[in-house]
């Protein structure tokens, strides 16, 4: 089904979103603060609006993709939102999403928040994912249109849920990057070829470790941190060893030290017999 959709914000991501909607046959009206960015989309069939209010007037679904929430709020300020569905795909904090959802509801609109788990080049292609939360009725109504941009996944009625899960996924990513950077510093300090270490040793090892995480999640959900793999005391000694080895090698273990602090704290409570999953309770 072809929908009438307004896209507010034509940065790298907004442009990719609008392109994928046009390619799927939707009627798309675009607006951007710097109007020149609309040109290539107009050439592909989009309608250009001079103001956000004009873009929204003719379209029941409004997709927002701007720098941040303050700019999203400013752009929607003078727009008639009654009866509209606002899907804000701008990255932000859960509290900002909840606040904007209330603000839109006060103006008679329905609100969905979205967390984009993709870069612009992935939009409209398999592998791209967008997490949504907020109005389930709006999600159900437009799920098919959303699917043109990326696989749509509804995560709950709390508008803050999609940004929270987005941040949780980024957290996992930063943890992995931190581990890689420390490993890279250690390996290069010994002049071992980093490319070979990374592809033939580290990546297979990380994949094997990642495969254990669903079992860890079960332990955390159950609160039972008993382990048959390696207990906290063994890991405490291992981390001590690691940090010492880094220093002997002339490398700073700065990205590892926060984890060591939490392991030491948990072990000091006499919980050295538990597995590492118990660390979550220290957080
Ligand atoms: P860009 O920097 O390319 O675009 C930013 C957009 O915001 C432009 O349309 C810009 O308008 C507009 N903007 C900035 N400030 C204001 C303002 N005060 N009033 C009105 N418009 C404003 O960023 P992206 O498109 O890459 O990112 C947009 C959102 O998508 C961000 O929240 C980002 O986190 C998210 N995202 C991006 C990803 C990526 O890989 N790029 C991945 C996942 C999420 P103008 O053109 O006039 O400057």
For 73-91, the pLDDT digits (tens) are 999 999 999 999 999 999 9
Out of 98, 132, 157, pick the residue that ends a domain. 157
Which structural domain, as residue segments, surrounds residue 9? 4-157
Q: Is the CB of 131 under 6 A from ligand 1?
A: no
23 shares its domain with 150: yes
CB of 36 sitting under 6 A from ligand 1: no
> Could you tell me if 119 and 258 lie in one domain?
no
Are residues 34 and 151 located together in one domain of the fold? yes
Q: Is 16 in the pocket of ligand 1 (CB under 6 A)?
A: no
- Asked if 151 and 233 sit in the same domain, the reply is no
Structure tokens at 90: 């701008």
Judge if the beta carbon of residue 74 lies within 6 A of ligand 1: yes
Domain termination site, one of 105, 137, 157: 157
Q: What pLDDT is stored for residue 214 in this prediction?
A: 96
DSSP string, 188-226: HHTT--HHHIIIIIIHHHHHHHHTTHHHHHHHHHHT---
pLDDT at 1: 86
Q: Is 38 in the pocket of ligand 1 (CB under 6 A)?
A: no
CA of 175 to the centre of ligand 1 (A): 25
Ligand 1 atom with the smallest distance to the CA of 13 is: 25
Residue 134 to residue 114: CA distance in whole angstroms: 9
- Given a contact cutoff of 8 angstroms between Cβ atoms, the answer to whether 72 and 16 are in contact is no
The neighbour count for residue 227, using CB atoms within 10 Å, is 18
Residue with CA at minimum distance from ligand 1 atom 14: 67
β-bridge partners, 153: 131
Q: How far apart are CA 145 and CA 155, in angstroms?
A: 17
Ligand 1 close to Cβ of residue 155 (< 6 A): no
| CA of 37, closest atom in ligand 1 | 46
Is 192 in the same domain as 131?
no
| Atom 33 of ligand 1, nearest CA residue | 91
> How many domains are there within the chain?
2
Per-residue confidence of the chain (283 residues) as pLDDT tens digits?
899 999 999 999 999 999 999 999 999 999 999 999 999 999 999 999 999 999 999 899 999 999 999 999 999 999 999 999 999 999 999 999 999 999 999 999 999 999 999 999 999 999 999 999 999 999 999 999 999 999 999 999 999 999 999 999 999 999 999 999 999 999 999 999 999 999 999 999 999 999 999 999 999 999 999 998 889 999 999 999 999 999 999 999 999 999 999 999 999 999 999 999 999 999 9
Angle between helices 257-268 and 232-248 (to 10 degrees): 140
- Are 138 and 277 members of one domain? no
Does 105 share its domain with 237? Answer: no
Instruction: Give the ligand 1 atom nearest the CA of 90.
Output: 32
Query: Is the Cβ atom of 73 under 6 angstroms away from ligand 1?
Result: no
- Residue 120: burial class (beta carbons within 10 Å; 0-12, 13-18, 19+): middle
pLDDT confidence of residue 23: 98
> Is 104 close to ligand 1, i.e. is its CB under 6 Å away?
no
The pLDDT of residue 65 is 98
For residue 169, the model assigns a pLDDT of 95
Does 78 share its domain with 190?
A: no
Q: Are strands 129-134 and 110-117 parallel, antiparallel or unpaired?
A: antiparallel
Q: Nearest to residue 139, comparing CAs of 110, 170, 107, 173?
A: 110
For the sheet with 47-48, list strands across it: 47-48, 27-31, 4-8, 61-64, 85-88, 110-117, 129-134, 151-154
The secondary structure of 2-20 as a DSSP string is --EEEEE--SHHHHHHHHH
The answer to whether the CB of 60 is under 6 A from ligand 1 is no
User: Where among 138, 157, 176 does a domain terminate?
Assistant: 157
For 7-70, the DSSP string reads EE--SHHHHHHHHHHHHTT-EEEEE-SSGGGGHHHHHTTPEE-SSHHHHHHT-SEEEE--SSHH
Q: Write out pLDDT tens, residues 193-236.
A: 999 999 999 999 999 999 999 999 999 999 999 998 889 999 99
Give yes or no: residues 96 and 215 share one domain. Answer: no
Half-sphere exposure of 87 (CA within 13 A, CB side): 30
Atom of ligand 1 nearest to the CA of 16: 25
ipTM above 0.90, yes or no: yes
Contact at 8 Å (CB) between 98 and 92? no
Tell me which residue has tokens 């990057």: 177
Pick the closest to residue 20 from 65, 71, 83, 84 (CA basis): 65
57 and 100, same domain (yes or no)? yes
Q: What is the pLDDT of residue 127?
A: 96
Pocket mutation for ligand 1, best pick of 7, 13, 149 (most atoms within 8 Å of C-beta)? 13
Q: What's the predicted TM-score (pTM) here?
A: 0.92
């Amino acid at each position: 089904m072809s929908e009438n959709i307004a896209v507010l914000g034509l940065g790298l991501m907004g442009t990719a979103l609008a392109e994928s909607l046009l390619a799927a046959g939707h009627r798309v009206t675009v607006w951007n603060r710097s109007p020149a960015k609309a040109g290539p989309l107009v050439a592909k069939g989009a309608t250009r609006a001079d103001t956000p209010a004009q873009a929204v007037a003719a379209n029941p679904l409004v997709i927002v993709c701007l720098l941040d929430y303050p700019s999203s709020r400013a752009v929607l300020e003078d727009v008639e939102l009654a009866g509209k569905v606002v899907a804000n795909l701008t990255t932000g904090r859960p509290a900002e999403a909840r606040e904007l959802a209330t603000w839109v509801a006060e103006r008679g609109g329905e609100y969905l928040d979205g967390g984009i788990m993709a870069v612009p080049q992935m939009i409209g292609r398999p592998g791209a994912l967008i997490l949504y939360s907020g109005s389930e009725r709006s999600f159900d109504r437009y799920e098919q249109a959303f699917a043109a941009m990326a696989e749509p996944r509804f995560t709950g009625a709390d508008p803050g849920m999609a940004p929270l899960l987005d941040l949780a996924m980024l957290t996992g990513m930063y943890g992995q990057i931190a581990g890689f950077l420390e490993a890279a510093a250690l390996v290069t300090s010994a002049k071992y070829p980093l490319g070979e270490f990374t592809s033939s040793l580290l990546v297979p090892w990380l994949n094997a470790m990642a495969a254990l995480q669903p079992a860890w999640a079960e332990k955390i959900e159950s609160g039972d941190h008993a382990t048959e793999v390696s207990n906290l005391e063994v890991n405490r000694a291992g981390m001590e060893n690691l940090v010492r080895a880094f220093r002997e090698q002339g490398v700073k273990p700065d990205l590892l030290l926060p984890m060591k602090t939490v392991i030491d704290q948990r072990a000091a409570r006499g919980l050295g017999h538990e597995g590492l999953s118990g660390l979550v309770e220290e957080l």
